[in-house]
């Protein structure tokens, strides 16, 4: 009996070793002509991926009759992958990943250089993981879509994401050093990254369906979850927290969305003024403000700060906040979930993320705002989870989440 117990312990130990280290046996590929090409696509870092049980499902949505095609279709559904660590769930809160605009949930899997992605990082920590394709993108594309916006061009992707240091339209761009490869079209790593970018839609219907589908997902999970978001995915998390706050334990926002009431996307090309948008402050659709508002006009605004330049380049944008001399409306539902807001040293977001943080705090939301360079994490751009030091940043997020485990 003792021998059987020891054997069982060894088996369990080996299973857990496999959960945390999964070397690939390439001998099976040696006789295949496509092995070198396949290896170059997969990358050596594929050996680092965590073992997990995988399933997928769609949530949300409803049937509607479409007069144009003369039949009933499903709209509003959202694609979700569920990954359960092979060694079992060790953490209290599941993690739900939301990608940024124009990308899909693949950005949380292996990185374009083949390295370990954040999904594997958190699986190895014992988290149950869900990866969403936000409604309107990828496997959540929908017949109800308004016309798709063109996906990012290679030129705009280089300027904004992979190689802003080569196009220093804003001051902080020069500090970018963490992208693997040279960041330009033709480099295998850039090409692998760019292949993941898809057309997107950001509209009132997109936000309405995303909010509904995300709350449906959180109800399916049935336990308060940690939402980890990137860029435009941040708005989905704020909308879901507003609609179903008791199902959100916390929000890790990686350069979430944009600035209140305006966009500074064109700052990557040196634009000095933003474009009006998000009439409800952080969204295109109504939120549960307190006191309640009847229209966006009830949110009285004021400009805080001025445009700043350093060495002849834009280095900081002004913010639009609620006017403190008028009624300041709070977001009590959004405020139920604390936020860790991470901003990198070299992204265009370094010029304006403080605006969204200030607006959230003004609305009563608890936000820990971390500029990564203040923690000694230097050289990152907007896609920090895909860059060379991504695990260091994941560790910062994991540490913050750990502080919520007792809550």
Which one of 120, 157, 231, 390 is the catalytic residue? 231
End-to-end CA distance of the chain: 42
pLDDT confidence of residue 138: 81
Q: Per-residue pLDDT averaged across 89-105, rounded?
A: 94
CATH class of the structural domain 52-402:
alpha beta
Mean local confidence (pLDDT), 298-327: 96
Contact 390, 398 (CB under 8 A): no
Q: How far apart are CA 152 and CA 331, in angstroms?
A: 33
Q: Which residue has the higher pLDDT, 143 or 73?
A: 73
Q: Which of the given ranges, 40-44, 147-151, 252-256, has the highest pLDDT on average?
A: 252-256
| Catalytic status, residue 231 | yes
Report the alpha-carbon distance of residue 236 to residue 241 in Å, rounded. 9
Pick the residue with more confidence: 76 or 299? 299
| Dihedral class, residue 364 (left if φ above 0, else alpha if ψ from -120 to 50, else beta) | left
Q: At what angle do helices 233-243 and 204-221 cross, to 10 degrees?
A: 60
Q: Give me the mean pLDDT over the 15-38 stretch.
A: 44
Q: What pLDDT was estimated at residue 90?
A: 96
Q: Which residue has the higher pLDDT, 378 or 35?
A: 378
Q: What is the mean pLDDT of residues 358-367?
A: 98
Q: Is the pLDDT of residue 393 over 50?
A: yes
Whether the predicted pLDDT of 21 surpasses 80: no
Query: pLDDT tens across 156-188, in order?
Result: 999 999 999 999 899 999 999 999 999 999 999
Average pLDDT over residues 338-353: 97
Burial 18-57 (b: 16+ CB within 10 A, else e): ebbeeeeeeeeeeeeeeeeeeeeebbebbebbbbbeeeee
How much is the pLDDT for 280? Answer: 97
Residue 43 has pLDDT above 60, yes or no: no
What does the pLDDT average to over 189-210? 89
What mean pLDDT is predicted for residues 203-208?
A: 88
Burial of 330 (0-12, 13-18, 19+ CB in 10 A): middle
Half-sphere exposure of 316 (CA within 13 A, CB side): 9
Out of 125-129, 139-143, 248-252, 306-310, pick the least confident.
139-143
Q: Between 144 and 244, where is the model more confident?
A: 244
Say if residues 183 and 158 touch (Cβ distance below 8 Å). yes
Q: Mean pLDDT of all residues in the chain?
A: 87
Q: Quote the pLDDT of residue 146.
A: 54
- Which token pair is 352? 């304006």
Q: What is the pLDDT of residue 147?
A: 59
Global pTM reads 0.89
Higher-scoring residue by pLDDT: 302, 10: 302
Q: For the residues 350-364, what does the mean pLDDT come to?
A: 97
Q: Which residues contact 47 (CB under 8 A, 6 or more apart)?
A: 22, 23, 24
């Amino acid at each position: 009996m003792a021998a059987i117990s020891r054997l069982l312990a060894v088996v369990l130990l080996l299973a857990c070793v496999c959960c945390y280290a999964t070397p690939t046996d390439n001998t099976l590929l040696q006789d295949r002509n496509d092995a070198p090409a396949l290896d170059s696509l997969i990358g050596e870092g594929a050996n680092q991926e965590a073992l997990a049980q995988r399933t997928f499902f769609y949530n949300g949505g409803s049937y509607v009759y479409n007069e144009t095609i003369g039949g009933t279709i499903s709209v509003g559904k959202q694609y979700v992958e569920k990954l359960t660590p092979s060694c079992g769930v060790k953490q209290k809160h599941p993690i739900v990943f939301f990608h940024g605009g124009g990308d899909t949930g693949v950005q949380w899997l292996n990185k374009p250089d083949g390295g370990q992605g954040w999904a594997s990082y958190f699986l190895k920590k014992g988290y149950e993981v869900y990866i969403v394709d936000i409604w309107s993108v990828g496997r959540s594309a929908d017949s109800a879509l308004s016309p798709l916006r063109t996906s990012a061009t290679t030129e705009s992707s280089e300027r904004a994401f992979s190689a802003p240091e080569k196009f220093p339209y804003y001051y902080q761009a020069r500090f970018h050093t963490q992208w693997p490869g040279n960041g330009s079209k033709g480099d295998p790593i850039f090409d692998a990254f760019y292949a993941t970018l898809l057309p997107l839609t950001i509209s009132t219907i997109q936000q309405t369906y995303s909010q509904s589908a995300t709350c449906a997902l959180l109800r399916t999970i049935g336990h308060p979850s940690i939402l980890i978001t990137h860029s435009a995915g941040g708005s989905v998390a704020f909308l879901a927290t507003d609609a179903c706050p008791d199902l959100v334990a916390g929000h890790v926002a990686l350069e979430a969305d944009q600035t209140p009431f305006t966009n500074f996307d064109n700052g990557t090309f040196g634009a000095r003024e933003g474009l009006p948008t998000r009439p409800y402050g952080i969204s295109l659709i109504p939120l549960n403000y307190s006191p309640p508002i009847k229209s966006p006009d009830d949110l009285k605004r004021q400009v805080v700060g001025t445009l700043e330049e350093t060495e002849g380049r834009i280095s900081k944008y002004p913010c639009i906040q609620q006017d403190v001399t008028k009624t300041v409306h709070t977001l009590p539902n959004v405020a139920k979930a604390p936020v860790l807001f991470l901003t990198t040293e070299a992204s265009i977001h370094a010029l304006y993320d403080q605006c969204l943080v200030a607006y959230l705090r003004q609305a009563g939301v608890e936000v820990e705002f971390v500029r990564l360079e203040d923690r000694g994490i230097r050289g990152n751009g907007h896609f920090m989870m895909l860059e060379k030091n991504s695990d260091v940043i994941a560790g910062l997020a994991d540490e913050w989440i750990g502080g919520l485990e007792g809550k």
